[in-house]
């Protein structure tokens, strides 16, 4: 452990360069950028809490979904990858049994008294509820909790579909795991703790994909048939081998007013499962579902049926995407990506919100991607949908044109060229 001043000197002296290169898939210019970012974060911590404090730095990445759109919350199968955008937390333990988190860009700090771990209904939708929920769940599972002061800064776009909320939950879990539990909880357990906080304390009925991809890292498939013991498989995937770049474009829509839209997808899928006496769609036999569609639609409505069709097909696609990557069949991979995008748009119906029909940035981004890429590469909406980001796998020869088209439409710096990050949530010193 180092004081803030000592840590800054070590960062300036290059002691963290190898970690930065690994975590951010960074060249020399990227390493220099991370040095400045980390130094600024440590300086901000020192200004808030004092320069004599001993500190550690934790990081949790954002994620991009590759396949299995909105299948995780019904115990389906997904393919996802951590990306080289993250939230970092500069942290120092305190003896007050209070967690304070000041996040860059927010005027007030979140303060949670660990003597009170009950659900606070007036906290729902706020980051303080996530802090309280993570701490409560760790304690409930027999872990230790304690106070700390933290300053966080994130380049995971809020409301973008890269899961900034999951990265926040996971980094809080990682801090408590590292500072008070000697890393006794596995990455998957930290993901489950984070999901609990989001579901029960924050009030959002999310699945487990976002948290798992952030906590575990790398490119992974996750089978949620048994959500208490999800099966996680890492998949080696180097896009540069195929001359492709992963582009995420922020279409500038916000997820802030879309909780009801997300909840409707889950509840409608579960209404179809309930028709068959099951809790989630993964428990329903696909053949039985298709044999009874006429009766199901009369009970649940057509949109629920279409969303169930999407669920079954996208679970199969997630496995097929994994197999295509393992076989090096990039043409098959690209076709599956496009097919999944069509299914999300047409059946799952999360390309835009019916509450705001004139705002269709995601749909426009998908249309422009198809226009630029034609019969090369692949494109789709990703994540929760309705607003936020789209994903494209862009051939190098079209990369400049693609970026230009996206940024002319959605604004400067709206198109990010990302890499798959091979680390999940970490204490940064541990990657040295």
| pLDDT per 10-residue tile (average), the chain, 432 residues | 94 96 93 98 97 96 93 94 94 97 93 97 93 98 98 79 82 98 96 95 85 91 91 86 92 80 95 98 98 98 98 97 94 98 97 92 97 98 88 97 98 91 91 66
Q: Which fold has domain 2-229+422-431?
A: Ribosomal Protein S5; domain 2 (3.30.230)
CA 332, 333, 338, 341 dihedral sign is positive
The answer to whether the beta carbons of residues 211 and 169 sit under 8 Å apart is yes
Strand order in the sheet with 389-395: 378-381, 389-395, 244-250, 415-418
Six token digits for residue 257 = 């007013």
Of the candidates 244, 255, 252, 253, which has an alpha carbon nearest to the alpha carbon of residue 414? 252
CA 7, 11, 17, 20 dihedral sign is positive
206: β partners: none
Output the pTM of the full model.
Answer: 0.84
The answer to whether the beta carbons of residues 38 and 88 sit under 8 Å apart is yes
Strand 148-154 versus strand 98-103 pairing type: parallel
Six token digits for residue 1 = 């452990």
Q: What is the pLDDT of residue 164?
A: 82
CA distance 398 to 112: 49
Six token digits for residue 394 = 């862009």
CA 217, 223, 225, 229 dihedral sign is negative
H-run or E-run covering 87: strand 77-93
Q: What is the pLDDT of residue 158?
A: 65
Six token digits for residue 373 = 């890429």
Q: So what CATH class is 239-418?
A: alpha beta
What is the residue extent of each domain of the chain?
2-229+422-431, 239-418
């Amino acid at each position: 452990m180092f004081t803030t001043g000592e840590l800054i000197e070590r960062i300036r002296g290059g002691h963290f360069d190898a970690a930065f290169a690994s975590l951010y898939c960074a060249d020399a210019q990227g390493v220099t950028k991370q040095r400045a970012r980390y130094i600024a974060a440590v300086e901000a911590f020192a200004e808030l809490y004092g320069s004599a404090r001993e500190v550690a730095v934790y990081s949790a990445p954002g994620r991009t979904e590759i396949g299995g759109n909105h299948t995780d919350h019904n115990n389906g199968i997904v393919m996802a990858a951590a990306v080289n955008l993250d939230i970092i937390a500069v942290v120092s333990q305190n003896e007050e049994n209070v967690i304070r988190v000041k996040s860059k860009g927010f005027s007030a700090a979140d303060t949670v008294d660990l003597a009170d771990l009950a659900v606070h209904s007036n906290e729902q939708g706020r980051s303080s509820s996530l802090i309280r929920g993570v701490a409560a769940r760790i304690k409930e599972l027999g872990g230790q909790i304690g106070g700390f002061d933290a300053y966080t800064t994130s380049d995971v776009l809020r409301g973008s579909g890269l899961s900034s909320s999951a990265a926040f939950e996971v980094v809080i879990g990682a801090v408590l795991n590292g500072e008070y539990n000697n890393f006794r909880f596995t990455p998957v357990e930290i993901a489950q703790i984070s999901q609990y906080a989001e579901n029960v304390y924050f009030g959002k009925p999310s699945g487990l994909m976002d948290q798992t991809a952030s906590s575990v890292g790398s490119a992974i498939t996750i089978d949620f048939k048994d959500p208490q013991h999800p099966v996680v498989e890492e998949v080696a995937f180097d896009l540069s081998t195929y001359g492709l770049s992963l582009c995420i474009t922020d279409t500038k829509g916000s997820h802030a007013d879309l909780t009801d839209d997300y909840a409707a997808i889950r509840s409608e899928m579960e209404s179809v499962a309930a028709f068959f006496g099951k809790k989630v769609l993964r428990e329903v036999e696909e053949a039985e579902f298709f044999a009874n569609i006429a009766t199901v639609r009369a009970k649940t409505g057509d949109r629920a049926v279409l969303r169930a069709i999407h669920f079954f097909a996208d679970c199969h696609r997630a496995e097929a995407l994994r197999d295509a990557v393992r076989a090096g069949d990039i043409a098959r991979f690209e076709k599956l990506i496009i097919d999944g995008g069509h299914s999300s748009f047409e059946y799952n119906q999360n390309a835009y919100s019916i509450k705001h029909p004139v705002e269709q940035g995601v749909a426009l981004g998908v249309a422009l991607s198809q226009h630029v890429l034609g019969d090369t590469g692949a494109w789709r909406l990703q994540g929760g949908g309705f607003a936020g980001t789209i994903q494209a796998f862009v051939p190098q020869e079209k990369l400049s044109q693609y970026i230009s088209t996206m940024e002319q439409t959605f604004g400067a710096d709206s198109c990010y060229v990302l890499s798959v990050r091979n680390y999940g949530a970490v204490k940064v010193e541990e990657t040295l």
